[in-house]
């Protein structure tokens, strides 16, 4: 039997999942688990580089485990786990800290951005974050790591670290390729179509747990464009607001842009906005209901992430043992 290629992806549970996450990568994961041997984990160790409220962090991680399953990630068919449950991440993270250069880390754009945003808390973890992320990846020897544009630099430094390590000790790590998913729409904020949908602007953001009335309100208030033609036409440069709504509508209904333009010809924005809102409500309804059902079933959820952590640990520990041996640590026996 041909071995499936290995794919790994980590998600930081630092905000509530929203429509942008869903229509971007998340929606395509169920297809990926058919094709690849997939590891998905909640990167909780990474979140504490920014101060978190403990109760909220705990609730978010559990909610997101439930949401991934509700979005169609069958935990029998992939390895779904919580990063802090697999100690090998922190252990390999430390080793890789020692093979990652101060200069390289200083050049990371995400570090520079985040440091500028939180001047009062430029902690060492924020700085060494890429080495931990490299450990996350390399432990599982994946063939590729699907990431957004903003994480590409992190996958590149991971490859550099892996190549450096392999250069000294031989072929320990597989060199992973970044994989910028071609499918998946880039969804913009509903009230500011010049920036990506993000939970830092709540009125422009539809979370997966929003109530239908909130979703409808947000779509009704969505910013459209101040052009004179006021017709539903896809033109991202001229008409970013309407084009964003068309993208969303296309993604949730499966209709093409042309079909949408035709259906709303002569109807203006007033009819279009609530139609998009309603279509989104119907897409998200089963996900929200299933998430709530799973969250009420603590025993099931615990079973899922426990089994996930066990499966992940077996693979991760094998890599870690190899690394420890290569660097010269005495085996505990
Ligand atoms: N840094 C990623 C983000 O902020 C999350 C992440 C942590 C990750 N470890 C990873 C992604 C390993 C891919 C692989 O989105």
69 pLDDT more than 60? yes
Q: Within 10 A of 119 (CB to CB), how many other CB atoms are there?
A: 7
Q: Mark whether 77 is an active-site residue.
A: no
List 152, 199, 322, 326, catalytic entry? 199
Summarize pLDDT for 94-123 with one digit per residue, the tens.
999 999 999 999 999 999 999 999 999 999
CA distances from 329 to 141, 148, 277, 320 (A): 21, 36, 58, 11
286 pLDDT more than 80? yes
User: Residue 42: CB within 6 Å of ligand 1?
Assistant: no
Mean pLDDT for 309-331 is 98
Q: Give the ligand 1 atom nearest the CA of 129.
A: 1
Between the CA of 10 and the centroid of ligand 1 the distance, in Å, is 4
Summarize pLDDT for 5-46 with one digit per residue, the tens.
999 999 889 888 999 999 987 888 898 999 999 999 999 999
CA distance linking residue 198 with residue 300, whole number of Å: 30
Higher pLDDT, 200 or 327: 327
CA of residue 167 relative to chain centroid, distance? 31
CA distance linking residue 108 with residue 25, whole number of Å: 23
Higher pLDDT, 135 or 265: 135
Mean pLDDT for 265-282 is 94
CA distance linking residue 215 with residue 292, whole number of Å: 18
Q: Which residues pair with 11 in a beta bridge?
A: 42
Question: Among residues of the chain, what percentage have pLDDT more than 90?
Answer: 83
List 114, 152, 255, 322, catalytic entry? 114
User: Residue 233: CB within 6 Å of ligand 1?
Assistant: no
71 pLDDT more than 70? yes
Predicted confidence at residue 301, as pLDDT, reads 97
Report residue 3's pLDDT band, with 50, 70 and 90 as the boundaries.
Answer: confident
306 pLDDT more than 90? yes
Is beta strand 177-179 parallel, antiparallel or unpaired with respect to 79-82?
unpaired
185 pLDDT more than 90? no
Q: In the structure encoding, which two tokens stand for residue 149, read together?
A: 């544009």
Dihedral (CA of 93, 98, 104, 106) sign: positive
Give the mutation target among 24, 29, 151, 157 for probing the ligand 1 site: most ligand atoms within 8 A of CB: 151
Predicted confidence at residue 183, as pLDDT, reads 57
Q: Which residues pair with 146 in a beta bridge?
A: 179
CA of residue 292 relative to chain centroid, distance? 21
Predicted confidence at residue 104, as pLDDT, reads 97
Summarize pLDDT for 144-184 with one digit per residue, the tens.
998 878 899 999 999 999 999 999 999 999 999 888 666 56
Give the mutation target among 25, 154, 161 for probing the ligand 1 site: most ligand atoms within 8 A of CB: 154
Higher pLDDT, 130 or 182: 130
Length of the chain in terms of residues written: 333
Q: Are 69 and 80 in contact (CB under 8 A)?
A: yes
Report residue 1's pLDDT band, with 50, 70 and 90 as the boundaries.
Answer: low
Summarize pLDDT for 212-221 with one digit per residue, the tens.
999 999 999 9
Q: How many degrees, rounded to 5, is the angle at CA 71 between CA 65 and CA 72?
A: 100
b/e map of 298-308 (b: 16 or more CB within 10 Å)?
eeebeebbeeb
**Cβ contacts of residue 52 below 8 Å, gap of 6+?**
14
CA distance linking residue 153 with residue 178, whole number of Å: 9
């Amino acid at each position: 039997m041909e071995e499936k290629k290995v794919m790994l992806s980590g998600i930081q549970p630092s905000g509530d999942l929203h429509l942008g996450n869903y229509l971007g990568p998340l929606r395509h994961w169920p297809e990926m688990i058919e094709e690849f041997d997939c590891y998905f984990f909640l990167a909780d160790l990474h979140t504490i580089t920014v101060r978190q409220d403990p109760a909220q962090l705990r609730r978010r991680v559990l909610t997101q485990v439930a949401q991934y399953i509700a979005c169609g990630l069958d935990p029998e068919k992939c390895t779904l786990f919580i990063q802090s449950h697999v100690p090998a991440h922190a252990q390999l993270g430390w080793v890789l800290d020692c093979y990652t250069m101060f200069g390289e880390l200083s050049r990371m754009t995400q570090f520079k951005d985040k440091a500028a945003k939180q001047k009062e808390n430029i902690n060492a973890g924020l700085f060494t974050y890429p080495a931990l992320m490299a450990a996350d990846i390399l432990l599982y020897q994946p063939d590729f790591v699907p990431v957004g544009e903003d994480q590409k630099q992190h996958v590149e430094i991971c490859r550099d670290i892996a190549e450096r390590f392999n250069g000294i000790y031989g072929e320990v790590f597989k060199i992973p390729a970044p994989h910028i998913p071609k499918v998946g729409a880039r969804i913009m904020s509903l009230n500011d179509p010049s920036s990506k949908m993000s939970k830092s602007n709540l009125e422009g953001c539809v979370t997966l747990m929003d109530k239908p009335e909130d979703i409808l309100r947000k779509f009704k208030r969505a910013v459209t464009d101040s052009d004179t033609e006021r017709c539903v036409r896809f033109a991202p440069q001229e008409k970013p607001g309407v084009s964003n709504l068309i993208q969303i509508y296309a993604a949730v209904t499966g209709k093409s842009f042309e079909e949408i333009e035709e259906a709303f010809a002569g109807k203006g924005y007033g009819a279009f906005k609530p139609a998009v809102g309603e279509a989104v409500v119907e897409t998200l309804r089963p996900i929200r209901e299933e998430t709530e059902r799973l969250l009420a079933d603590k025993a099931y959820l615990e079973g899922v992430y426990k089994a996930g952590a066990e499966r992940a640990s077996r693979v991760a520990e094998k890599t870690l043992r190899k690394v420890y041996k290569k660097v010269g640590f005495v085996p505990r026996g």
